[in-house]
Amino acid sequence: CRINRPKLLLYLFSLNYLPNIDAICYFVEQIWLPFLNTGEFELMVAGRQAPAALIALCQRDGITLIQDPPEIESVYAASDLLVVPLRIGGGTRIKILEAFGYGRPVVTTTIGAEGLDLNDGEHALFADAPQAFAEACRRVLGDETLARRLVSTARTLLQQRFSAEQIGKAIMAGYALARGSAGK
């Protein structure tokens, strides 16, 4: 926990992927600037291969940009909240699982949490409209009990469904099912 400093919101993704570029531009323009850029919070964007337009956006709006971080442990350690404002794209949201493992609460859009079967208010806070997203960030950052509860339930989910052991069991079950189907 960072004492006597602004709370740090983190956006940590591959910065050369169109859905991630869209998400951070949306977050900055529609959520950060109008609702959260008040001095009580800071925003850090971290990831690999930031395009020139994203670099300029961060410089223009005083956002900390860490390009190609050599490791992410210190990035997560410095942060208080992972924001996942995705509006487009598909696939599993590995960064959310990573944040759970590093003990960071998450505020996400519904699309941002697709494929993980998370529950709003239990594992993360969900918000799809800009003001609602900002309010969810404020809730988590202003309520340590809520933040700790989200982190605790998210870590439990991570162990129960996404640990190496659980993934191995799922792979073996799929393999057994495929072998059984092949003989018919």
Mean pLDDT (whole number) for 69-79: 96
Residue 3 is predicted with a pLDDT of 62
Least confident of 3-7, 22-26, 34-38, 52-56: 3-7
140-163 mean pLDDT: 95
pTM: 0.90
Q: How many CB atoms lie within 10 A of CB 3?
A: 4
Cα 111 to Cα 54: distance, rounded to the nearest angstrom = 22
CB-CB contact of 158 with 101 (8 Å)? yes
Structure tokens at 85: 């404002």
